[in-house]
Amino acid sequence: MNQLFTSKKNILWLVGPGVLIMLFAIVAPILLSVYYSLTDWSGFGAKTFIGLANYKEVLFQDPTFWRSLYNALLLLVVTVFIQNVLAFILAAVLNQLKEKYSLVLRTIYFVPAILTVVVITKLWTNMMNPNYGMINKLLGAVGLEAWQHSWISDPKTALGAVIFITVWHGFGWALLFYYSGLTTVPQELHEAAVVDGAGPFKRYTAVVIPYMLPVIQAVIIIDITSCLKQMEIILLSTEGGPGNTTQFVAYHLYEQAFKFSRYGYGNAISIVFVIVALTITMLAQKYLSQANEKL
């Protein structure tokens, strides 16, 4: 037995290809990124080393970077505290329904999640178009003409509109995760709580949610990465505008590299971005597992 399961050759064959591909497509480029971030390269032609000047600029002279980070965090907050909460409540309701209704509804609720982001974004920008979009026509139909406006062009609503599209797209995933988490809550826990005289609300806060913490933790960790990397919707709708109201880090670095021809600077943003993402995830993991242990 030991031979087969400790053979170095076997292990290498099992682990090698996957690890190699990760080294090739994740680790190597990040190292390369560090190298380019120390230059003023435009993407082609000559480059000179400028030390940490790019990093200084990212951290101290680039309000757009901070704005884009703020927006990504705002998206995360909305995702965790609004999308996740709604998804959880809905999952709890679905969990109480008869299986045949629940299955139909779950199937429908998951539809947006399977559409590609290009369809989603084009669909919603068309829906929000002030000249022919459905949203304004709908508002007009119910007598709310005063609310009609250009949702993704108005600096006041653009970020909200973009966040809405993102949350709408991801809702099905959150719902499904919570639903499946809820199905694992043992019936005895519910019953014991009922015996203790807990109402439906108390039952969830006191018994179900603590039991579900590992699932909640996993969903939040996934949310962090997906919110931080958000850029497709931006690229296809607002391109960060109006002003910088809808800038997200991933789009900011893309724009600096390929529009402003500041490839070196874009790479510096990339590196800062990796560090920020790692830090936030670690903090979240630490905090969430502490909360987990306390209970």
Partner 1 sequence: MKKLSIGQIIIFFFLILIALAQLFPLFWLFNYSLQKSSNLFGPKLLDIPVDPQWGNYAKAWINGRIAQYLTNSVIVVAASIFFILLFSFTIAYACSRMQWKLRKVVYNFVLLGMVIPIHTTLLPNFIWFSKFGLIDTHMSLIIPYTAFFLAFSVLMFTGFLHSLPFAMEESAYLDGAGLGTILLKIVAPMVKPGFVTVGIMAFLNSWNEFIMANTYLASETKRTLPFSIIRFEGEYASDYAVQFACMVIVAVIPIALYFIFSKRIIAGVTAGSVKG
Partner 2 sequence: MKIGIKVLFLSMVLLLSAGLLFATGQPDGDSSSVVIKMGDNLPDRTVGLGAVAEAINEEFIAMHPEVSFEVESYQDQPYQQKIKIYATAGQLPDIMKYWSFSTLLKPLVDSKLVVPLDRAALSDLPWMPGALEGNVYGGELYGIPLTADFWVVFYNQAIFDKVGVEVPKTLEEMKAVSAKLSDAGYIPAVTDGKDGWPLSISYDNIFWRVTGDYSLMGDALAGKKPFTDPEFVEAAEIFQELFNTSGVFRNDLVTTDYGAARNLFGQEQAAMYIMGPWEMGMASDENFSESFRSNVRAARFPVLAGDEDQMDNLVAWYGGNYIVKSGSKHEDLAMEYIQLYAEKYADIMWDLQAGFPAQGIQPKADDNQLAKDLLSISASATATSGTTALDMLTPAFKESHQKLCKDLAAGIITPVQFCESLDQALQAALK
Is residue 119 part of the contact set for partner 1 (CB under 8 A)?
A: yes
Q: Output the CA angle 158-234-39, nearest 5 degrees.
A: 125
Site map 220..239 versus partner 2, x via CB under 8 A = -----------------xxx
Conformation bin of residue 18: beta by default, left when phi > 0, alpha when psi is -120 to 50? alpha
Instruction: Determine, following the binding rule CB under 8 A, whether residue 260 of this chain makes contact with partner 2.
Output: yes
Question: Which CB atom, from 124 or from 204, has the smaller least distance to partner 1?
Answer: 124
Q: Does 278 bind partner 1 (CB under 8 A)?
A: yes
Query: Of partner 2, partner 1, none, which one does residue 259 interact with (CB within 5 to 8 Å by kind)?
Result: partner 2
Question: DSSP states of 180-243 as a string?
Answer: HHHHTS-HHHHHHHHHTT--HHHHIIIIIHHHHHHHHHHHHHHHHHHHHT--HHHHHTTTT-ST
Contact assessment for residue 131 and residue 137, using Cβ atoms and an 8 Å cutoff: no
Residue at token pair 């690890």: 19
- When asked if residue 195 is in the footprint of partner 2 (CB under 8 A), the reply is no
Binding residues among 121-160 for partner 2 as defined by CB under 8 A: 125, 129-131, 149-150, 152-155
Q: Does 258 bind partner 2 (CB under 8 A)?
A: yes
User: With respect to partner 1, which residue has the nearer C-beta, 18 or 195?
Assistant: 18
Count of Cβ atoms closer than 10 Å to residue 290 Cβ? 9
Tell me which residues in 189-218 interact with partner 1 (CB under 8 A): 215, 218
Residue 51, binding choice from partner 2, partner 1, none, Cβ under 5 to 8 Å by partner class: none
